[in-house]
Homo-oligomer: A and B are copies of this chain.
Amino acid sequence: MTEHRTEKKLIGALAGKAYDKPPVWLMRQAGRYLPEYRALRSEAGGFLELCLNPAAAAEVTLQPVRRFGMDAAILFSDILIVPFGLGQPLEFKQGDGPTLLPLETAADLKRLNHAGLPARVAPIGETVRRVCADLPGDSALIGFAGSPWTVATYMVEGGASREFARIKRWIYRDPSGFDALIEQLIEATVDYLSLQIDAGAEVIQLFESWAGVLASQAFDRWVVKPNARIIQRLNALFPTIPVILFPRGAGLNYQSVIEGVTAAGIGLDTTVPLEWAINLDSSHTIQGNLDPHVLLIGGPILEIEVRRICDAIGKRPFIFNLGHGVLPDTPPEHVAKLVGLIRA
């Protein structure tokens, strides 16, 4: 008798399998564009409270899977949970984005408390367990973290930044001191992702959202190597768990990522030509890269672009996604339409 198990296409694609109808999930698929999210959000208090409330965070994680039948749920959380876990004071003020008490020099690293991390991030493990209990059998659960460089930008700048002047001052004046911060983040990120995997996460995505900020000569040291080390460590600890790396804005340095990192999946931002990506050796499954503005706008261009991407990919292992997160004004019907087009 053949054993019939429900197939998780996301995991199949990351193992190198090509599908006529590729798996699909969207970055920020749980979020403000969904009325059921906004309803829950207004009850939950602040954003950080929502991330740390397992019942609410699990519900938000599951909302887009219930509504659209996505091939994956991605844990509802934030890349700043790692600095929070290390004890760096963090606040999300309404409409203003995150504020952290900034780290300015290597001397400030002693304020970070790695030993306290497991207790502080424990609610995230509980969220993962709750999602796993309720997730449909053909949908995979993606855990995630920010990559060290990207998380460090917030920790050093004290929040979002346009100029990145503080972190650039640090890396150029005291590169080995900055390495000490990156080392701490590598350790904390491995521990935090291990907790997610132990709780049931089946795939991990690393978000290197600010890969485009570094000058080329600094890219290997602070983007390629730290991500490579986290992935090596996770691969050794959890050989069956694939990792996707999304180095947004890496530009020509995507080539260094491909050569230097053994990620099962590579996320492509909207600027990456698919002609470039499909000529890569197939040891990396590619994921991407519809322009979120196309999803926002909908109509004929959505059909044209979905077809163009699927045609360009051909028979390669592939995960359909956006090239960046869902925009807050996106009509949910456009997301339903997108999923329908991919499965048509």
A199 interface contact, C-beta 8 A: no
Q: Which residues in B have their C-beta under 8 angstroms from that of A305?
A: 217
Q: A251-B249, A252-B273, A253-B273 are in contact. Are A168 and B217 (CB under 8 A)?
A: no
Are the CB atoms of A252 and B252 closer together than 8 Å?
A: yes
Chain B residues with Cβ below 8 Å from A214 are 271
For the A-B complex with A168-B291, A250-B251, A252-B276 known, give 4 more contacts whose Cβ atoms are closer than 8 Å. Answer: A164-B293, A169-B296, A219-B273, A251-B252
Q: Which of B219, B272, B296, B327 contacts A251, CB < 8 Å?
A: B272
Report how far A289 CA is from B217 CA in the complex, Å.
Answer: 11
Closest residue to A218 on the B side, CB-wise?
Answer: B291
Q: Which A253-295 residues sit within 8 Å CB-CB of chain B?
A: 253-256, 270-274, 276, 289, 291, 293-294
Chain B residues with Cβ below 8 Å from A168 are: 291, 293, 296-297
Chain B residues whose CB sits within 8 angstroms of the CB of A251 once the complex forms: 212, 249-252, 254, 271-272
Report if A146 contacts B (CB, 8 A).
no
Q: Which residue of B lies closest to A216 (CB)?
A: B273
Task: Indicate if A221 sits at the interface (CB-CB under 8 A).
Answer: no
Q: A168-B297, A297-B169 are in contact. Are A308 and B217 (CB under 8 A)?
A: yes
A289 to chain B: closest CB distance in Å? 8
Instruction: Determine if A165 and B212 form an interchain contact, defined as CB atoms under 8 angstroms apart.
Output: no
Subset of 29 A-B contacts with CB under 8 Å: A165-B293, A165-B296, A168-B293, A168-B296, A172-B293, A212-B212, A212-B249, A212-B251, A212-B271, A215-B270, A215-B271, A215-B289, A215-B291, A215-B294, A216-B271, A216-B272, A216-B289, A217-B305, A219-B271, A249-B271, A250-B251, A251-B251, A251-B252, A252-B252, A252-B254, A252-B276, A253-B271, A253-B273, A256-B273
Does A116 reach chain B (CB closer than 8 Å)? no
